[in-house]
Amino acid sequence: MLIGIDTFLGAGIITILFDKHFPSPFPYILEVAAFIGFGELVIGPSYLSGFSTTLQFYYSFAYSMIAATAVLAANLYLLFARNRSFESGLVAAIATVPSYLANLFFASAYVNGMALELPVFPIVPIGTVYALVFASGSLLMVGITLQTRQRAPAGKSTLD
- CA dihedral (14, 81, 31, 61) positive or negative: negative
Average pLDDT over residues 150-158: 59
Average pLDDT over residues 57-71: 89
Residue type, 151: R
Q: Residue 67 has what pLDDT?
A: 92
Over 60: is that where the pLDDT of 156 sits?
no
Residues 125-143 pLDDT 10s: 888 888 888 998 898 888 8
Question: pTM for this one?
Answer: 0.66
Q: Residue 132 has what pLDDT?
A: 86
Q: Residue 127 has what pLDDT?
A: 85
* Helix or strand holding residue 5 (H, E): helix 2-17
Provide the b/e sequence for 133-157 (b: ≥16 CB within 10 Å).
eeebeebbeebeeeeeeeeeeeeee
Contacts of 5 by beta carbon, 8 Å cutoff, 6+ apart: 34, 37, 38, 41, 67
Residue 115 pLDDT class (50, 70, 90 cuts): very low
Residue 43 pLDDT class (50, 70, 90 cuts): confident
Average pLDDT over residues 49-73: 85
Q: Residue 66 has what pLDDT?
A: 92
Q: Residue 45 has what pLDDT?
A: 66
Residue 48 pLDDT class (50, 70, 90 cuts): low
What's the rounded Cα separation, in Å, for the pair 130 and 115? Answer: 27
